[in-house]
Amino acid sequence: MRIILHSPLDMHLHLRQGEMMQAVTPFSAGQFAGAVIMPNLVSPVDSLEKAAVYKKEILQCGNTENFRPYMTLFFKQYSRQELIEARDSIIGIKLYPAGITTQSEKGVTDFSAINSTLGYMEELGIPLLIHGETAGFVMDREKEFLPIYRQFAEDFPNLHIIMEHITTADAVQLLDRYANISATVTLHHLMITLDDVIGGQLEPDLFCKPIAKTPKDLAALQDAVFSGHPQIMFGSDSAPHPRHKKECCGCAAGIFSAPVILPLLAELFEDAGKLNLLQGFISDIACTRYALQPLEKNITLEQKPWKIPELYNDLKPFGAGRVLRWSQLQ
């Protein structure tokens, strides 16, 4: 049996720069027609010029002939004129609360002081992608951030707001109340809870932000995704860090899932008896929510066992060593 996926899209991806970018980009470009590229570089992508340079660098990586990087800008206070000029070159603007995750130090400190930029974004039809966590207790950070989503959704009813990488039942519920809010869900948050991260031996390769939550939260995410929720799309949040930054004191947050995404998602959807909903999650819902017309690209998966490698050079992939039922037809 085979599955053909049409123009798969990864709506949240970290590609980094330099050698790391060259190492990881081919995995995403080989599976996806396009991906939303996160702007949290060492020097954040916070101008049209930087976005253009970064896009060019990405397109010089291997496998990218038929791959579209959808660029984002790092949220800061932008003028209306800057946004008019940027609008056709970006898919949205990514907002990080200051200091909440990897390379977010230049993020937002005062959420009541950014209304002018949000107003321009609403007027110009530029989506707002948010890493929605407070600096509170780690298990409550997403829940504590929900009032800010509510405020923005009500104050800017025509602004498309994307709750990135949601991990809680509460975030899923919020979607029912606001038509202008969407969400992305990662592969790993459809599979693991906090128990997998710290319940046995500490697993640095499963440490990410937001941290995986409770079994109840996992079930809520699975229920929503495996029922084809029309506001939820796939975003891997694949976030590679070299081994010495993972296997050390002060482990960096981020899971490197890029090489395994489509075969593993196929297995999850098949186990849930919902293979028919994979196309929606992996592309169609994102196209509707973002009004995208992606590059035409068909990816075929075949039912042929594939063992996920233990390592890709210096990077440990999510699911390392696991044998999957599906593999990508090359």
Nearest distance from residue 20's CB to Zn ion, in Å?
15
What is the footprint of ligand NCD within residues 258-297 (CB under 6 A)? none
Selected catalytic residue, list 46, 205, 217, 237: 237
Q: Judged by CB under 6 A, does residue 131 bind ligand NCD?
A: yes
Q: With respect to Zn ion, which residue has the nearer C-beta, 69 or 122? A: 69
Residue whose CB is less far from Zn ion, 46 or 237: 237
Separation of alpha carbons 146 and 138, rounded Å: 14
Interacting positions 185-244 with Zn ion (CB under 5 A)? 237
Q: Where in 80-139 is the site for Zn ion (CB under 5 A)?
A: none
- Pick from ligand NCD, Zn ion, none: which does 253 bind, CB < 5 to 8 A by kind? ligand NCD
From residue 80, how far is each of 85, 120, 123, 211 by CA, in Å? 9, 6, 10, 35
**205 carries an active-site annotation:** no
Q: Is residue 141 within 8 Å of 148, Cβ to Cβ? A: no
Nearest approach, Cβ of 40 to ligand NCD (angstroms)?
5
Q: Which does 160 bind (CB under 5 to 8 A by kind): ligand NCD, Zn ion, none?
A: none
Of residues 142 and 237, the one with the C-beta less far from Zn ion? 237
Q: Report the distance separating Cα 65 and Cα 55, nearest Å.
A: 13
Closest approach of ligand NCD to the CB of residue 15, in Å: 10
Q: At what angle do helices 169-177 and 215-225 cross, to 10 degrees?
A: 40
Nearer to ligand NCD, 74 or 78 (CB): 74
- From CA 9, how far away is CA 235, in angstroms rounded? 8
Please state whether the peptide bond connecting residue 210 to the residue before it is cis, i.e. omega within 30 degrees of 0. Answer: yes
Other C-beta atoms closer than 10 Å to the C-beta of 314 total 15
Range 277-305 burial, b when 16+ CB lie within 10 A, else e: bbbbbbbbbbbebbebebeebebebbeee
x/- mask, ligand NCD, residues 191-220, rule CB under 6 A, reads -----------------xx-----------
Locate tokens 């297995």: which residue?
Answer: 267
Cβ 74 to ligand NCD, closest distance in Å? 12
Residues in contact with Zn ion by CB under 5 A are 237
Active site residues: 237
The residues that touch ligand NCD, with contacts defined as CB under 6 A, are 14, 40, 101-102, 131, 208-209, 237, 239, 253-254
